[in-house]
A = this chain, B = another copy of it.
Amino acid sequence: LIVDRRRNEGSDTGGGEHPAAGDAFPRPGSSDLGLGGGAEFDLIRRFYGGGAGASEVEEGVRVGAGDDAAVVGGEGIVLSVDLSLEGVHFRREWLDPREIGRRAAVAALSDLAAMAARPIGVLVSLAATPEDAALMAVEIMGGVRAALGEVGGVLLGGDLTRAPAGIVLDVVAVGEAPRPLLRRGASAGDEIWVTGSLGGAAIAVANLLRGETPDPEARERYAAPNARIAEAFWLAARGIPTAMIDLSDGLAGDASHIARASGVAMVLESSLLPVHAAVLRVLGAGDEAARLAMGGGEDYEICFTAPPGAVEPHLTEFLATFSLPLTRLGWVEEGAGVHVLDGRGKRSSLDRGGFQHFG
């Protein structure tokens, strides 16, 4: 959810909607509550309460229809929080302490990328048993600082406490974006683009859950993702994206947030999906690989929409600058929801059940 509380409201990003809180507060997917999409969204909506939401709008608080981060203050201070729990988001057999910290920070910083915000820093809440704290806390925080060092930003503070068991790591990403890129700017006719490749993290997790050793490149995608801060900034500086989101929950689900926020339909061509090489090595090209690339989360790539022809003049320079592909994988049209065009030209609509299927 975004509550944009800047005093000087720009007309370009709309406002005044009732808080459609449900679709961005939680992170559906592997880490969700297991309540099922609808029930979970309903739960979140109840967090905001009917009356309070209405009065907030009356008081001039601009509320966006679900976005990657909150924006406060006239300068556009961007805030997002991302919780990583042992046994839910990671297992200590899967990641070393430095990876645990770096990954948790990247997950939070990725929300800043989605808004084209410049990182200022993070606050970190860390809970551990005394034994775990003595063994791992410094390395975990070293991983957090490594993530900060890569994108710019400092450790702003935090809260350290004892945990009865397991590691709790909550990272608050703080950035600034005088003109944050929201989810709501996509128009019919726009193209849909994505950075990097998809499905690598998901296949690594699938392997790990089965006790198998994942492909090293796939493991790297899960254990050491990157927040696409510089890439997002580069694109935004050229005025290219009309709407943007980071892929934490999977392309299908995250694209639906743009569709809903922008009031459009997103059409994805499965044959254009930039499936991660490790997925192709393990599964070959086919429905199963496309399913992982479409539904697998935690790649932390960026998906954005752009006017027709706006990206192509910049493709070579982007690739040269970031050594990262940019792939067009569909278009925006009037309507609602996310639709997939498969290799045989068959078009299907991904309703909420579809997300779960793809998730």
Q: Which chain B residues border A40 with CB–CB below 8 Å?
A: 160
The answer to whether A130 touches B161 (Cβ under 8 A) is no
Q: Which residues of chain A in 72-98 are interfacial with respect to chain B, using CB atoms and an 8 Å cutoff?
A: 72-75, 77, 79-83, 85-89
A138 to B42, CA, bound (A): 10
Q: Chain A 119-158, CB within 8 Å of chain B: the 1/0 string?
A: 0110111011010011001100110010001000011111
Q: Chain A 179-195, CB within 8 Å of chain B: the 1/0 string?
A: 00000000000000000
Q: Which residues of chain A in 23-72 are interfacial with respect to chain B, using CB atoms and an 8 Å cutoff?
A: 24-27, 31-35, 40, 43-44, 46-49, 52, 56, 61, 69-70, 72
Cross-interface CB contact of A49 among B31, B88, B127, B145, cutoff 8 Å: B145
Within 8 Å of chain B (Cβ to Cβ): is A115? no
Q: Which residues of chain A in 228-282 are interfacial with respect to chain B, using CB atoms and an 8 Å cutoff?
A: none
A81 with B137, Cβ < 8 A, contacts A32-B162, A157-B3 known: no
Within 8 Å of chain B (Cβ to Cβ): is A166? yes
The residue in A40, A83, A133, A164 that gathers the most chain B C-beta atoms within 10 A of its C-beta is A83
A100 to B73, CA, bound (A): 29
Residue of chain B at shortest CB distance from A47: B141
The answer to whether A79 touches B174 (Cβ under 8 A) is yes
* Given contact pairs A25-B158, A31-B161, a sample of 18 additional A-B residue pairs in the complex whose CB atoms are under 8 Å apart: A1-B156, A3-B121, A3-B155, A3-B156, A26-B161, A33-B128, A33-B161, A33-B162, A35-B133, A47-B137, A47-B138, A49-B142, A79-B174, A81-B159, A85-B127, A85-B161, A86-B164, A159-B170
- For this complex, 26 residue pairs linking A to B, each with C-beta atoms less than 8 Å apart, are A24-B157, A27-B160, A32-B160, A34-B130, A35-B130, A35-B133, A43-B138, A46-B138, A52-B145, A52-B149, A52-B155, A56-B154, A61-B154, A70-B121, A73-B73, A73-B75, A79-B156, A79-B157, A79-B172, A82-B159, A83-B125, A85-B168, A88-B163, A168-B168, A168-B170, A170-B170
The 9 closest A-B pairs by CB, nearest first: A1-B157, A26-B160, A47-B141, A70-B156, A83-B125, A170-B170, A87-B164, A77-B77, A81-B123
